[in-house]
Structure 1
Amino acid sequence: MLDYPALAALAAVVREGSFERAAFVLGVTPSAISQRVRGLEERLGAVLVVRGQPCSATEPGARLCAHVRQVSLLEGELTAGMPGLSAAEARPTLRVALNSDSLATWFPAAASHFATGSAALLDLLLDDEEHTAGRLRAGEVLAAVTTDPAPVQGCRTLALGSLPYVAAASPDFVRRHFPGGVDEAALARAPTLRFDRRDGLQDRWARAVSGVPLQAPTHWVPSTEGMLNVSLAGLGWAMAPLMTAAPHLASGALVELVPRRRIGVALYWQHLRLGAKVLETLTSSVRHAAAHQLHPMEEG
């Protein structure tokens, strides 16, 4: 049998990033946390935590943490409403991976809808939408918004819709950098904005417009809101979610580099097949918000 107090200590260390913060959350001493984790490692014959700043799980440690999250979720549903538990003790937490642009656009409506029908809490982990499925595969989360339609083992997949993007910049930026229009040469000179090194939306749009890869000076702005703000300030051109750019396009504060030349990112919802009612409630809320705010996926 697994030692669940030790598993809880392991999960807290990985979640909080340190033995000290895990001790604070669980209401015990750092020494007690260290002893529990070390005892679990000795019993299983495997290193479960990489000690560092922050601490992280090894592969076997990650599997155990995933098990703890699933058990905690199911136990929370089993004991909900029992008179001996406080409301706080009966509230499960669902850890979900999603991309920053979804969090800035359509997902808040899903979270709000979910909160009206459930007392559960959300723990949102941000990552690139092409890599969130990996978080689910590694057992770090219970569900994910992803661009990967291939089901992760043990998961269900739901097509959500397409999040549309526009290539936009301030009018002054366009006048300075695209006086003769948008072509290969102008795109190679004009500074662009990227979220991080995995952000390929600008390349995808540029290929569609000019037929060649984008080779341009780049500003790195790891924030959806921040990228919109620096676009408005004239720092560079960016691929902005249409939902956030639309008011600024309407006011003239932003203009499209090529009018109506937009691209969409197909999004999917994947979640573990746990049979947990609270996870199904969240899925229903996500489906509802996506149906009202995302665009239909293009066929083919």
Structure 2
Amino acid sequence: MWDFEQLAALKATVEEGTFDAAAQKLHVTPSAISQRIKALETSVGRVLVQRTKPVRVTDSGREVLRLARQIASLTHGTMRELGLGDLAGRFARVSIAVNADSLSTWVLGALAEFTDEVMFDFHLDDQDYTTDLLRDGSVVAAITSTATAIQGCTIRPVGVMRYRPVATPTFCRRWFADGVRPESLSAAPMVVFNRKDLLQDRYLNHVSESSRDTPRHFVPSSADFADAVLAGYGWGLLPDLQTVEARKSGALVVIDSNYVDDVPLYWQQWKLSSPMSARIAEAVAARARDVLHQPTR
């Protein structure tokens, strides 16, 4: 039998980082938080958190934490539907894992209608890795490139984010005077988001097998990444949504018109019978239909 107060103590402790902060959030003593988590660990038969600063959830704790967050989400949704709860609790809290390019180009616009009802907590990661945050219970939904549903989640395709290799005309004259060839690509600097970003390497491997020693700038921000390419730091793959105006004005040019990298995106979320989660999913899907490339079926 799960004790709701114990689950709430675990959730608050992990999210706040310490027993003291969790106690302040739940308006109890740190001793009460400690006792509740110990009792929960006893009932589960496993250690759920490591007593570090900040506390760290164990593998077993992640499974229980996901349950605690699901219960909290359903409870809050039910109270809102019934018109219960005080003003401080009128906002639902929704955590979403999303890749930086989607967040900066279309996701924020998709969810703007909910800002009077929802406090969003966005977790940034590469689209190939956002499901890890969904799997361990850190988020309730994710924009991901993973086409297989995580256990306990629903999945729906939302569209394709199309990337093209671009650079400034000045950069092209400097590095690609004789055309974009394996030799010039191996020497020309490129811009990379972070070490999980494989878009540029996929293009290099498409053109040449020797990409390991290519000079690269790491710029871990979607807007700053685009700015770095526009400033001539290097070439890079940018989504069409970010480069329409720059390509029209000639500030950026496509360095290989025969190449596109289509990244299919999916919306995955917990299987919760929540009106709010259903509304958010529909808003994301509707916005995606308007702005993302939709493959013909």
Deviation at 1:54, TM superposition (A): 3.9
The counterpart of 1:285, out of the listed 256, 259, 283, is 283
The one-letter code sitting in structure 1 at the alignment partner of 2:59 is: E
Give the Cα separation in 2 of the matches to 1:183 and 1:22. 57
Deviation at 1:29, TM superposition (A): 4.5
Instruction: After TM superposition, list the pairs within 5 Å mapping 1:98-113 onto structure 2.
Output: 98-113=98-113
Counterpart position of 1:166: 164
Give the Cα separation in 2 of the matches to 1:234 and 1:18. 45
What's the CA shift string for 1:8-56, capped at 9, x where partnerless?
Answer: 2211222233334434433444444334323432443321113445433
Counterpart position of 2:65: 65
Query: Judging changes above 3 Å, is the alpha-carbon distance between structure 1 residues 83 and 133 closer, same or farther for their aligned structure 2 residues?
Result: closer
C-alpha RMSD of the superposition: 2.2
Q: Give ranges in structure 2 of 5+ residues lacking alignment.
A: none
Aligned length: 296
The one-letter code sitting in structure 1 at the alignment partner of 2:192 is: R
Give the Cα separation in 1 of the matches to 2:28 and 2:168. 54
What's the CA shift string for 1:165-188, capped at 9, x where partnerless?
Answer: 121222222222212111101111
Counterpart position of 1:16: 16
Q: Does 1:48 align with 2:48?
A: yes
Query: Judging changes above 3 Å, is the alpha-carbon distance between structure 1 residues 102 and 53 closer, same or farther for their aligned structure 2 residues?
Result: farther
Counterpart position of 1:153: 151
Give the Cα separation in 2 of the matches to 1:253 and 1:52. 50
Task: State the SS of the aligned residue for 2:86.
Answer: coil
Kindly indicate whether the alpha-carbon contact (under 8 Å) linking 1:81 and 1:90 is maintained by their aligned counterparts in 2.
Answer: no
The one-letter code sitting in structure 1 at the alignment partner of 2:240 is: L
Kindly indicate whether the alpha-carbon contact (under 8 Å) linking 1:99 and 1:126 is maintained by their aligned counterparts in 2.
Answer: yes
* Same amino acid, percent of matched pairs: 36
Give the Cα separation in 2 of the matches to 1:48 and 1:128. 28
What's the CA shift string for 1:172-213, capped at 9, x where partnerless?
Answer: 2222221211110111111111112111101222233x1435
Counterpart position of 1:270: 268
Give the Cα separation in 2 of the matches to 1:281 and 1:57. 31
The one-letter code sitting in structure 2 at the alignment partner of 1:251 is: S
Task: State the SS of the aligned residue for 1:267.
Answer: strand
What's the CA shift string for 1:116-152, capped at 9, x where partnerless?
Answer: 7x72332211111111122222222221111111112
Give the Cα separation in 1 of the matches to 2:53 and 2:181. 46
Query: Judging changes above 3 Å, is the alpha-carbon distance between structure 1 residues 246 and 56 closer, same or farther for their aligned structure 2 residues?
Result: farther
Counterpart position of 1:127: 125
Query: Judging changes above 3 Å, is the alpha-carbon distance between structure 1 residues 89 and 162 closer, same or farther for their aligned structure 2 residues?
Result: same
The one-letter code sitting in structure 1 at the alignment partner of 2:56 is: S
Deviation at 1:298, TM superposition (A): 6.4
- TM-score where L is the length of structure 1: 0.90
The one-letter code sitting in structure 1 at the alignment partner of 2:47 is: V
Counterpart position of 1:219: 217
Counterpart position of 2:242: 244
The one-letter code sitting in structure 1 at the alignment partner of 2:34 is: S
The one-letter code sitting in structure 2 at the alignment partner of 1:191 is: P
What's the CA shift string for 1:75-101, capped at 9, x where partnerless?
Answer: 122222546521332432122111111
Give the Cα separation in 2 of the matches to 1:261 and 1:34. 57
Give the Cα separation in 2 of the matches to 1:211 and 1:298. 30
